[in-house]
Amino acid sequence: MNEFPWLTTLWVLPLAGAIVVAALPRRARMMARWTGLAFALAALAIGIVVAVRFEPGGPQYQLVESHRWIPAFGAGYTLGVDGIALVLVLLTAGLMPLLLLAGWNDDVGGAAGGGTRVTHIYVALMLLVESMVLISFTSLDILLFYVFFEVMLIPMYFLIGGFGPHGDNVAVRQQRARSAVKFLLYNLFGGLIMLAAVIGLYVLTARQHLGGDGTFDFRTVVAAANSGQLGAGPAVLNALFLGFMFAFAVKAPLWPLHTWLPDAAVSATPAGAVLMMAVVDKVGTFGMLRYCLLLFPSATATYAPLVSVLAVIGIVYGALLALGQTDVMRLIAYTSISHFGFIILGIFARTNQGGAGATLYMVNHGISTAALFLIAGFLVSRRGTRAIAAFGGVQKVAPVMAGTFLIAGLATLSLPGLAPFVSEFLVLAGTFTRYPVAAICATSALVLAALYVLWLYQRMMTGPVRDGNEKLRDLLPRELIVVVPLLAALLVLGAYPKPVLDRIDPAVASTLTTIGAHDPAPTVPQPEAAPTHGGTR
């Protein structure tokens, strides 16, 4: 156990920030913004400390904190990070200050009716979501994870339904409310299915007297699950796997459980939408990699082909729908459905390359989506419309905005030299060794991505300046502070991903070793024997 509770401090800081912001004087709107930013930066500083103290060659779970929580149920307050959780913690903590800066004025006209405390509510909700995501990534107790997996839906619901970028008239408020309710119902239903699976898993541990009368300790349950000590047949384990998987597939989202995402993304503010797609939804893919694989190795092997097929469908489906969109924000939302398909495909390939690529893809998708969605949001806020047809010739009046939009778009289509290329290549290479047909089908999305990104740029940024675009302002200093670090991260991770992979690879290898999954051996065709003549070759 550590002398200082770094992981507790990590998630408590944004929670404390939310409380402090909510308690500020009613008229102190600017103070609320700066206070929220200060707490987000403090959480980032703690995240960096955690990363520095993490030893890539050390134990699988590090900086572990363990305290009794509900002893009667075998539930504990147990935190720890492996390399997978670490990079997602850094993604979350690194994005939050940028999102608060990007959404500096997003609270204007929000919260269904406005009021002097709109800013306080908006900033506090953003920090609450960050806090709950961080404890979800660091939890080593199944019940603790489940609680915050569900609770994070509440502040996210209010961010979608209460704040939006397109005014505050009745029709807009109604659309936001519908999108928020759809988001909540989908995810709550998935969570209830998962709750049944969590209870079922606890019953199994209680029957085997693990941890006494049952336990939620993740490490104990994993050890029992992979040594055959849970005492359950394949049918029970398959059912429990499906309970966890369904909840994660909704949050990820995996086709066909994805339909809530585009509506929620266009109804929220750009910063709120990025928080949802780049951070909150990663809890779903993280859950697949940690909980589905490690708790149910045999069920994972059984359902991996089916999940891979659904992932490929999502990859192609998301790309095709993005190609047909006339709304720039909805187009970007559909690209995320395609990208999540790649992440899930890499996870269920159950290979070292696939798992490492999927984890790296979670990070790279978060950065590239944040860059593209936020720049598009800056442009939409100036023009007052999301319609692609309303733009044109932007590069003539706002060249910096057009240039940064192009770089972010090229990252989205996984151009070599930018971060997503490395992760997408690893996913496809790792998948090909086990499911070659799925990998080949998934590559079709590379062509579709080039089509929808370059066509989007052509329609919005090139050509003559359309009416209404003549006075569009270029990126402001505050907006450049947001965009430049994201683009720099895409370039650095595209050229040198080794520091991140050095932390991911041991965790992925440990996961696959624990569940007994091995990379398929390459098959090399043997040369035919040369014909013999008279007994000689």
- pLDDT of the residue at 150: 92
- pLDDT of the residue at 482: 93
User: Is the pLDDT score of 243 beyond 90?
Assistant: yes
User: Is the pLDDT score of 172 beyond 80?
Assistant: no
User: Is the pLDDT score of 164 beyond 90?
Assistant: no
Mean pLDDT calculated for residue range 29-38: 90
106-115, 138-147, 321-330, range with the lowest pLDDT? 106-115
Would you state the structure tokens that stand for residue 487, as one six-digit string?
């683009």
Mean pLDDT calculated for residue range 499-519: 88
- pLDDT of the residue at 537: 42
- pLDDT of the residue at 324: 86
pTM of the model: 0.90
- pLDDT of the residue at 299: 92
Q: Cα 309 to chain center, whole Å?
A: 21
Q: Is 294 exposed, middle or buried (0-12, 13-18, 19+ CB in 10 A)?
A: buried
- pLDDT of the residue at 385: 82
- pLDDT of the residue at 404: 93
Mean pLDDT calculated for residue range 366-376: 92
Would you state the structure tokens that stand for residue 352, as one six-digit string?
């070292």
- pLDDT of the residue at 381: 85
User: Is the pLDDT score of 439 beyond 50?
Assistant: yes
Contacts of 385 (CB under 8 A, 6+ apart): none
Would you state the structure tokens that stand for residue 408, as one six-digit string?
């972010």
Mean pLDDT calculated for residue range 240-259: 91
Whole-angstrom Cα distance, residue 118 to residue 27?
Answer: 10
Mean pLDDT calculated for residue range 403-424: 92
Count H helices and E strands in the chain, helices first: 23, 2
- pLDDT of the residue at 532: 57
User: Is the pLDDT score of 218 beyond 80?
Assistant: yes
Whole-angstrom Cα distance, residue 477 to residue 488?
Answer: 16
User: Is the pLDDT score of 81 beyond 50?
Assistant: yes
Chain-wide mean pLDDT for the chain? 88
Q: 75-81 and 62-70 as β-strands: parallel, antiparallel, unpaired?
A: antiparallel
Mean pLDDT calculated for residue range 44-63: 92
For residues 79 and 65, is the Cβ–Cβ distance under 8 A?
Answer: yes
User: Is the pLDDT score of 138 beyond 50?
Assistant: yes
Going by pLDDT thresholds of 50, 70 and 90, the confidence category of residue 177 is confident
296-300, 307-311, 438-442, 523-527, range with the lowest pLDDT? 523-527
| Three-class HEC string of 262-273 | HHHHHHCCHHHH
Q: Cα 397 to chain center, whole Å?
A: 34
Other beta carbons less than 10 A from residue 205's beta carbon: 25
- pLDDT of the residue at 166: 55
For residues 226 and 514, is the Cβ–Cβ distance under 8 A?
Answer: yes
Mean pLDDT calculated for residue range 144-173: 82
- pLDDT of the residue at 147: 93
For residues 310 and 255, is the Cβ–Cβ distance under 8 A?
Answer: yes
Would you state the structure tokens that stand for residue 189, as one six-digit string?
């239903």
Higher-pLDDT residue of 65 and 468 is 65
Q: Per DSSP, what are the bridge partners of residue 67? A: 77
Collapsing DSSP to helix, strand or coil, 249 comes out as: helix
22-26, 147-151, 359-363, range with the lowest pLDDT? 22-26
**How is residue 165 annotated by DSSP?**
S
Q: Is 238 exposed, middle or buried (0-12, 13-18, 19+ CB in 10 A)?
A: middle
Would you state the structure tokens that stand for residue 8, as one six-digit string?
């507790």
Q: Cα 236 to chain center, whole Å?
A: 29
167-176, 259-268, 373-382, 430-439, range with the lowest pLDDT? 167-176
CA distances (Å), 449 to each of 20, 212, 276, 281, 345, in order?
Answer: 43, 53, 22, 21, 17
CA dihedral 459, 460, 462, 468 (to 10 degrees): 120
Q: pLDDT tens digits, residue range 328-349?
A: 888 999 998 999 999 999 999 9
User: Is the pLDDT score of 110 beyond 60?
Assistant: no
Q: Quick one: what percent of the chain has pLDDT higher than 90?
A: 55
